[in-house]
Structure 1
């Protein structure tokens, strides 16, 4: 098998993005665009990935990590100059080098693989990834000879009227014989208006040397979209979103409205789950079979069990068991765990709490820093008072307990197994097992007093 190497061009600042964030770090589906490129190119069994960095080099390295080696392009003097920076790492290598742009996050591993296979089978010294553009304005055109081989690449501004009618365009992705690439790069001139060294000039140099130059046409023009501004960023986000959603639907997930459902690339969803409109699933969220999520729910790095329903709610870094009902309008903050057959109802906030199976917090409550046993019912308006202004404290509610409405549990405190807390109580001391705790002021009725108040208002 031929040795394969990849060079990723990621040194540009991207001034048209009008952003403090470097262009290749702008996210698509929650992941920096250059990471999409690295992930896809790494899937085609390349022996080495080299990323050319410039602006924001340290930030780019931090996001990509060990998936690539890095070379710094201190001055941005064109794409040819950028590739030449990898010479020290590749000049002695034999094999195929694929050069890809860090701002083309939509090209799939299948397309990269097909391009490399075509290049190696054709015996070409260079192969251009091309596409048929619905509107080729602004793109370099691929001009073919009578034998259908690549004759040259003509930039839009240099094309004559006949050449402007050509709809096959250069995508900026190439395969090269590695040795031929670096030999030709040394002959590239910067004798142009920008004073830069352009990688496409290598194609012309190889042709002048009588070498074979080929082209592989991808049938999906959308894949080749380069991100240069926020408009293209939004278009790429839309394409990636629909691609991800389509994959889940083909795997047996019902997505009611794919246009308005946002699923990250690392999310896993079981068959027969229903995703309603407005749902956002991010990070490493895992949803088991036959769940129902949404509408308008957001889950970040969550586990959701089989048959669970999450409606109009937000959860992050939490675990939700099987056949749980969450929402509407619930909020599960990090380090929360809801056991099987539990219920988290409307306007309930759970934070750093372990709620065991068959326990319920049905409405209008805050349960934070708590250990809640199984078969516990927590009434409306209950609050675990976990913070004294300086420290957080834990509330423990043991199995089979019942917490009445509008109760305050002042942590640290333990409600013993099978105990009852009367509605309206403020609990400051531990409640023994199988007890009833009442902690509220005695009611006083002053008969006739309301009439006096009404009379005073009239006066």
Structure 2
């Protein structure tokens, strides 16, 4: 019996600030993340999914037509993963379940490999071996079986080198719900219940060795983008797209419907050029995603960046940055991605800063931000929705929502 796939998509994404979009609806390759997850489940030949969602996702789902899977939804306002599952308890019933987090993305082929352990296991969780400490739950194991989950251990105190990915199977989910119902509602209610269940029953560990990305903080949009770019191994130009014979396309590139690539443009793949996008003359795009309706104007360079819908660039440099949507950087504005002292950039928020992993990180810009000419935005800066930056400003600290910098 194939399990009911339970997709958790009801969170509000408090850590995704300054970006305003519901993270499960963030478009990559022209589709919301949630649609990619549904299609991944569908491709793996699961027949039914229950999506624990919120009103915004529910509205989008009401317009979505899947090909070969039956979707149910339950609107919830959960306080953590455990609360979300308990709110879906009645809809789940006694059926076996496979739990997936809507903002976790793996290589789609992995789900197909789960059929064998599903047939032979009371329950399993998925583990990914990593070489460095990350902010995640780590699996405590004994002889290949899971015996606990340790949330966000400090470096050197990890119980193993394996982090917990939310691809969890339970043949008898009522056992988990019974335990969870006795634990007070909290962010780690599910993990506490799971650890208690591990003490009572055998929970296997299914290893995953491929690429993985999770949307937690706003700069993780770049990680998610890179995962999709890495997985694309085709060149595709829509019939309605117009590509100048004097443009240079190098590597795996998708050019979507009604896009236009002008003479002298250079696109180095992997890259995605969305619907109705215009790429002007003498532009350079490297390993980036340009979403629907955006314009990359004359002389601009976009490197390893996510440019959200309807953004308009004018002779800009954008490095390792995230533009949510409807961003207008006027002529000459630059988004720097490398600290002069060589240290890793920190993500700069209005009330705190967050450590990042890489040497390069540009800016995180929420929707509807306007920049005057010749501004310079320093590495790691975040700018809130609706902000306005006057010409010639150097922005080295976070800018709040609707703030005007003169």
Deviations along 1:378-412, one digit per CA (max 9) or x if unpaired, are: xxxxxxxxxxxxxxxxxxxxxxxxxxxxxxxxxxx
Q: Of 202, 206, 216, which aligns to 1:216?
A: 206
Q: How do residues 306-455 of structure 1 correspond to structure 2 at under 5 angstroms?
A: none
Q: How do residues 291-306 of structure 1 correspond to structure 2 at under 5 angstroms?
A: 295-296=265-266
Is the alpha carbon distance of 1:41 and 1:14 closer, same or farther for their aligned partners in structure 2, counting shifts above 3 Å? same
In structure 2, the residue matched to 1:26 is 26
Note the C-alpha offset of 1:127.
0.8
Q: Which runs of 5+ in 2 are unaligned?
A: 242-246, 284-291, 293-297, 299-406
What is the aligned-residue RMSD (CA, Å)?
4.1
Q: Of 127, 130, 145, which aligns to 1:133?
A: 130
Deviations along 1:32-76, one digit per CA (max 9) or x if unpaired, are: 111111110111111211111025133331464445534334331
In structure 2, the residue matched to 1:171 is 165
Report which of the two structures shows the higher radius of gyration computed on alpha carbons: 1
- Greater RCO structure (CA 8 Å; 6+ sep): 2
In structure 1, the residue matched to 2:10 is 11
Q: Of 222, 229, 252, which aligns to 2:217?
A: 229
Q: Of 170, 175, 185, which aligns to 1:183?
A: 175
Is the alpha carbon distance of 1:35 and 1:163 closer, same or farther for their aligned partners in structure 2, counting shifts above 3 Å? same
> Do the aligned partners of 2:130 and 2:161 also contact (CA within 8 Å) in 1?
yes
Structure with higher helix content: 1
Please, what TM-score do these two structures have when normalized by structure 1? 0.50
Q: Which runs of 5+ in 1 are unaligned?
A: 254-262, 269-273, 287-291, 303-309, 318-328, 330-459
In structure 1, the residue matched to 2:40 is 40
Q: Of 138, 142, 155, which aligns to 2:139?
A: 142
Q: How far apart, in 1, do the equivalents of 2:219 and 2:50 lie?
A: 29
Q: How do residues 137-286 of structure 1 correspond to structure 2 at under 5 angstroms?
A: 137-145=134-142, 147-157=143-153, 163-164=157-158, 166-177=160-171, 180-189=172-181, 191=183, 195-196=186-187, 198-209=189-200, 211-220=201-210, 222-223=211-212, 225-244=213-232, 247-248=233-234, 276-277=249-250, 281-283=254-256
> Do the aligned partners of 1:7 and 1:52 also contact (CA within 8 Å) in 2?
yes
Please, what TM-score do these two structures have when normalized by structure 2? 0.56
- How many residues of Structure 1 are paired with residues of Structure 2 in the alignment? 272
Is the alpha carbon distance of 1:202 and 1:116 closer, same or farther for their aligned partners in structure 2, counting shifts above 3 Å? farther
